Amino acid sequence: MFGNTDTGDTSGYGRLVRPVALPGSSPRPYGSYFDEVVDTLEEALGPADFAESIERVVVYRDQLSLEVDRGKLPLVAKTLRDHPGLRFELCLGVSGVHYPEDAGRELHAVYPLMSITHNRRIRLEVAAPDADPHIPSLFSVYPTVDWHERETYDFFGIIFDGHPSLTRIEMPDDWVGHPQRKDYPLGGIPVQFKGATIPPPDQRRAYN
């Protein structure tokens, strides 16, 4: 397991990989308040728009996730925020995920929402392909996602269309690549620290 030297991996375990099994659609009843949320959203959107907007309903580890068609994301988010039976007023941010083996859906953005009115939590998940990494920004619906969308763009390369200032927030403006993608090389980059240049990890570590 340790001591692998031909992979470019500097973590020390030689690319010991555990396959990721994504959960599938969940059958009814979903349990808890989840059925009420889904039914209310379907009533608010109308059956036709609901069928076009919601790709899957997933209940996994006691969390309700709505997998949303990316083109319908602002509509779904605004409905969840404004409908009196839903009232998910607070978006807690956005997280990026990279699934290289999820063909055509490699990049995911996950938005956790909270209803302060009804004391409920759900997640919105949107997928985009590597070849077209565009997702509509939710800044116009939840302005608090401003920096979170910038960070997700910075680290994963997801382009949030409509964001007022989609620039890097952690990495330098001229940085090449997006460091939290799973195809981003580990090591190989010297780091400047207090005037000194520290060699990249793959040039200064040894595990034998």
Instruction: For residue 26, tell me if it sits in a domain.
Output: no
Task: Judge contact between 27 and 18, C-beta under 8 A.
Answer: no
Cβ atoms within 10 A of the Cβ of 181, count? Answer: 17
Continuous H helices in 17-89: 34-45, 47-53, 73-82
Kind of pairing, strands 120-128 and 63-68?
Answer: parallel
- pLDDT per residue, tens digit, the chain (208 aa), is 455 556 555 555 555 566 777 888 999 999 999 999 999 999 999 999 999 999 999 999 999 999 999 999 999 999 999 999 999 999 999 999 999 989 999 999 999 999 999 999 999 999 999 999 999 999 999 999 999 999 999 999 999 999 999 999 998 888 888 989 988 876 656 666 677 776 766 666 555 5
Instruction: For residue 3, tell me if it sits in a domain.
Output: no
Of 98, 131, 121, 125, residue with least CA distance to 110: 125
Instruction: For residue 19, tell me if it sits in a domain.
Output: no
197: CATH? 3.30.460.80
Instruction: For residue 67, tell me if it sits in a domain.
Output: yes
Of 148, 186, 189, residue with least CA distance to 170: 148
* Total domains, the chain: 1
Instruction: For residue 119, tell me if it sits in a domain.
Output: yes
Instruction: For residue 132, tell me if it sits in a domain.
Output: yes
Measure CA 19 to chain center: 18
Instruction: For residue 146, tell me if it sits in a domain.
Output: yes
What confidence tens digit (pLDDT) does each residue in 93-124 have? 999 999 998 999 999 999 999 999 999 999 99
What confidence tens digit (pLDDT) does each residue in 184-198 have? 876 656 666 677 776
Report the pLDDT value the prediction gives residue 188, as an integer from 0 to 100: 59
Instruction: For residue 61, tell me if it sits in a domain.
Output: yes
Task: Please tell me the distance from the alpha carbon of residue 194 to that of residue 184, in angstroms, as a whole number.
Answer: 26
Domain, as residue range, for 72? 34-203
Is pTM, for the whole model, over 0.85? Answer: no
